[in-house]
Amino acid sequence: MPEVLDDSFADKHSIINELFIATADDNYVLARWCFHQHLNVDFFWLAVHALEKYLKAVLLLNGKSAKSYSHDIVKLYASVTPLAPELFPAILVKPEDRMPDPYWHVENAVDFIARLHRDGQADNRYQLFGYSRHPEDLWKLDQVVFIVRRMCRPLEAYELGKPHDGAANLSNRDILGKYPQRWRLNSRLEETMSGKRGEELTRAALTWNFPFAPADYKHPPVSYTSSAQNPVLVRRLYDPLEAGHAHFSHNDAVWQWVKDNIQLPKTLTAEIESERQKIKAKSSAAS
């Protein structure tokens, strides 16, 4: 039997909506705009921001704490899916008749979340790790946002908050399972898509957005582009070592300057140290 919402739910929901859902909506719309404009670093950064907040909202609205996750959307996703596993797809699906098969890379949702986190995590704001953007990444993001955002409600509670005579008295979880296209939360994304916040934001939110856009929305022609960037640390700290022992001293000085003046994750520092030693050994053996 579904649960009855407690007396403080309205206050809690207001806080969660403004701190998490509404701000995630803005991050999501801006991430989509960045994708259209080929601003790939910010696309990944904002996409991770948005998903982090939506996932935390799901936890909070379902009686869970969101404090221990920091910005890790991989851990957040793993904690949210057990709340209603039947609502999560195993594989992200290519929109029908929208993209030629060769451009679509089959990927399950968990792997996409991990890849998104890798390229959009806080440490990659400075492009420490580079990125690889696939032509279908926007459509995969749209699917994941659609799935997670619609769950931003107390899943086991009565849809109407409490039982009513003559009503079906289903839980929110039941409703989402029965009506897979139901998604509205009456927050900022709905305002944006309705045009209340201006035409430019509406276009950013709806263009090529097949889960959310109305069936009669007129989309512009679709382009399919990939983009990748190797991190500058690879180009400056690894590649010169392959040219031989004569370049080691200069490159060591550059690496020392990086360590002395730029904040790097400890794991990345250790990885670079190890890789540089391997390249030096290989280069010395070849000379």
Sign of CA dihedral 111, 113, 119, 121: negative
pLDDT at 260: 97
Is 250 in contact with 182 (CB distance < 8 Å)?
no
Q: Which structure tokens are listed for 137?
A: 């990444």
* Distance separating alpha carbons of residues 146 and 246, to the nearest angstrom: 55
Kindly indicate the confidence band of residue 123, based on its pLDDT and cuts at 50, 70 and 90.
confident
Q: How many CA atoms lie within 13 A of 176 on its CB side?
A: 25
Fill in the DSSP letter of residue 165: T
Strand segments, DSSP code E, in 78-232 are 131-133, 227-229
Q: Quick one: 285 exposed, middle or buried, by C-beta within 10 A (0-12, 13-18, 19+)? A: exposed
60-75 pLDDT, tens digit each:
999 999 999 999 999 9
pTM equals 0.90
Q: How many CA atoms lie within 13 A of 139 on its CB side?
A: 22
Residues with Cβ within 8 Å of residue 184, at least 6 apart in sequence:
190
Kindly indicate the confidence band of residue 248, based on its pLDDT and cuts at 50, 70 and 90.
very high
* Amino acid (one-letter) located at 285: A
229-243 pLDDT, tens digit each:
889 999 999 999 999
Is 89 in contact with 109 (CB distance < 8 Å)?
yes
Does pLDDT of 30 surpass 90?
yes
Mean pLDDT of 30-40: 96
152-176 pLDDT, tens digit each:
999 999 988 787 877 778 999 999 9
Q: Where are the domains of the chain?
A: 9-228, 230-286
Mean pLDDT of 21-39: 97
Is 35 in contact with 137 (CB distance < 8 Å)?
yes
Kindly indicate the confidence band of residue 135, based on its pLDDT and cuts at 50, 70 and 90.
very high
pLDDT at 166: 73
Which has the minimum average pLDDT: 196-205, 249-258, 277-286? Answer: 277-286
Which one, of 166, 213, 157, 154, lies nearest residue 29 by Cα? Answer: 213
Kindly indicate the confidence band of residue 118, based on its pLDDT and cuts at 50, 70 and 90.
very high
pLDDT at 100: 84
Mean pLDDT of 183-192: 96
